[in-house]
Amino acid sequence: MYRALNVLVACETSGAVRDAFRARGANAWSVDPLPTTAPGNHFLNTLENLEIEPGEWDLLIAHPPCTYLCSSGLHWNHRRPGRADLTEKALDFVRYVMALPVPRICVENPIGCISTRIRKPDQIIQPHQFGEGASKATCLWLKGLPHLAHTETVEPRWVAGKPRWANQTDTGQNRLSPSADRWRKRSVTYPGIAAAMAAQWSV
């Protein structure tokens, strides 16, 4: 008897990954303390408070907040009192996610201290390998899942011999200007990556 795949997408408000799986028939839900910006199946809660039981979910994809984990911000740990403690709490959350009783787990994050403090990622992907004109190195820590196969390569423009994609200035900086919701915009999973996850990990 057919049973829809039960998929939980943690730390997601955009619904991008959740809805990619739902489009393929999965019973997919997102969970985050903030409301979803795309109406749909969403637990307005923390992942810890869901108290996940064995057999409840077939697949978990988690996007832990990267503020205190990514390499670009770690230098502040030596300059701002208390910030290093927040990095430790963020790492504890990643360990918690990786240990959950779900047979297939993907933890996604930019390059940062998860690699040095917990373990190296199983794969590093780029949006431009999945049909998106963008550069953003993204690490995947996988449990029970195959590597994500590239789907479509988008070629860059070349500036002084260096590759640049549509989300970058000629100097390589991100084009998004500072704003109150810049973090939210930058955290949204690119549609090409979300579609690849749904297509390749729904089987």
**pLDDT at 123 > cutoff 90:** yes
What confidence category does residue 118 fall into, taking pLDDT thresholds of 50, 70 and 90? very high
List, for residues 24-60, the tens digit of each pLDDT value: 999 999 999 999 999 999 999 999 999 999 999 999 9
Looking at residue 181, its pLDDT comes to 58
Tokens of 42: 């969403």
Q: How confident is the model at residue 186 (pLDDT cuts 50, 70, 90)?
A: low
Q: Looking at residue 83, what is its pLDDT?
A: 65
Query: By C-alpha distance, which of 140, 54, 42, 137 is closest to 94?
Result: 140
pLDDT at 2 over 80: no
- Torsion angle, CA of 41/31/196/148, rounded to 10 degrees? -150
Locate tokens 């000629």: which residue? 170
Closest Cα partner for 63 from 124, 13, 109, 128?
A: 109
Q: Does 94 have pLDDT greater than 90?
A: yes
DSSP state of 51: -
Tell me: pLDDT of 166 over 70: yes
Check pLDDT > 70 for residue 9.
Answer: yes
Amino acid (one-letter) located at 126: Q
Q: Measuring CA to CA, which residue among 97, 183, 171 is closest to residue 140?
A: 97
pLDDT at 74 over 70: no
CATH class of 6-201: alpha beta
Question: Does the pLDDT of residue 22 top 80, yes or no?
Answer: yes
How does residue 88 score in pLDDT terms, banded at 50, 70 and 90?
confident
State mean pLDDT over 139-145: 98
Domain ranges of the chain: 6-201
